[in-house]
Amino acid sequence: MKAFVLTRYGEPEDLTLMDVDKPTPATGQVLVKVMATAINDYDWAMVRGKPDLYRLLFGITKPKSPVPGMELSGIVEAVGDNVTLLKPGDRVYGDISQFGFGTFAEYVCVNEKAFVHIPGGMSFEEAASLSHASMLAYQALYDYGKIGEGMKILINGGGGGVGFFGLQLAKLHGAEVTGVDTGDKLLAMKSIGFDYVIDYKREDFTRNGKKYDLIVDTKTTRSSISYLRSLNTNGQYVTVGGYLHRILETVVMNPVISLFSNKRVKLVPLVPNKDLGIINHLYSQGKLKCMIDGPYSFDKIPWALRYFGEGRHTGKVVIHVSR
């Protein structure tokens, strides 16, 4: 089979398309023919080995998993012993990061628990765009943001996958939603329903005097304390990704902030695929749509990774792998 292989940390262009052995499912695993995959922050960090702290997860001197990629949709081709949830021919999708990596390939073997069934009417490309970003958005808004009716919400990084899903989920509760991003993304954000958009290159939303009940941050480029002035009384700041040292700072600062304020800062420790059943239901009801940048062909993965890492994408960058 074909796979993009990374033998050392470097740049996206260092990924090499190679012929490798097709894997065989072990006990509890399924072999999935990858129909589509997507690009994520983890992929950008894994390929580059940056920030250095991530090497504790990915491998100190070189990647432990030579094939990056953590999100896929596909068709179950074979099953290992003791597999009870899936069978050959099932259309599935999921975030496999709880069990490993390797979706930048034509086939992958993963524990069956990494997948849910694709509902009728959902394309492989749509499914590939959903599992990671929709879960970050859902768990940020519901599990940690405690979304309520009519809230004022700001999403920093609103033009990416988490932002588009977060907007749609927030609108189910009649929220007023402001999105922060820049460039061509701003027009796309207005077109799909953001009430207000802010170009971060022109305006610092933490200093414009406006306040929100909930801030969901996909970028986390500054100290969590700087967001407090943009929160209403009892408001919450929730981060789902961004600069690692700023994310860790959020964990440290929450108990400190709670000593002198009713405001809270929180980190979402993502539980992969936990609420995909709810996402499937919303999709089937027509209440949730996918915003896909692409799909791009399999051979474009190094280019797509660079495109994503430089923040030029709108929505979710999806790769079409097989036909």
Instruction: Give me the pLDDT at residue 112, please.
Output: 98
For residue range 162-210, what is the model confidence (pLDDT) as tens digits?
999 999 999 999 999 999 999 999 999 999 999 999 999 999 999 999 9
Instruction: Give me the pLDDT at residue 59, please.
Output: 86
Tens place of pLDDT per residue across the chain (323 aa)? 999 999 999 999 999 999 999 999 999 999 999 999 999 999 999 999 887 777 877 888 888 899 999 999 999 999 999 999 999 999 999 999 999 999 999 999 999 999 999 999 999 999 999 999 999 999 999 999 999 999 999 999 999 999 999 999 999 999 999 999 999 999 999 999 999 999 999 999 999 999 999 999 998 888 888 899 999 999 999 999 877 778 778 878 878 888 888 899 999 999 999 999 999 999 999 999 999 999 999 999 999 999 999 999 999 999 999 87
Quote the tokens at residue 237: 């700041």
- Name all domains of the chain by residue range, CATH numbers in brackets: 2-118+291-320 (3.90.180.10), 133-267 (3.40.50.720)
Closest CA to 155 of 195, 95, 202, 201: 195
Total residue length of the chain: 323
Given the structure tokens 């700023």, which residue do they identify?
Answer: 246
Instruction: Give me the pLDDT at residue 73, please.
Output: 98
CA distances from 112 to 4, 29, 97, 105, 167 (A): 23, 5, 13, 18, 31
Contacts of 45 (CB under 8 A, 6+ apart): 51, 54, 58
What DSSP character marks residue 160? B
CA angle 96-122-34, nearest 5°?
A: 40
d(CA 91, CA 118): 6
Q: Where are the alpha helices (DSSP H) in 49-184?
A: 55-58, 124-138, 161-171
Instruction: Give me the pLDDT at residue 127, please.
Output: 98
Closest CA to 42 of 25, 63, 13, 20: 63
Helices H / strands E in the chain, number of each: 8, 15
Rg value, the chain, Cα: 20
Quote the tokens at residue 121: 């009417």
Q: Kindly report each contact of residues 258-262 with a partner whose C-beta sits within 8 Å and lies 24 or more positions away, as own/partner.
A: 261/228, 262/233, 262/234
Burial of 130 (0-12, 13-18, 19+ CB in 10 A): buried
Instruction: List, in sequence order, every beta strand (DSSP E) within 165-244.
Output: 176-181, 196-199, 212-217, 231-239
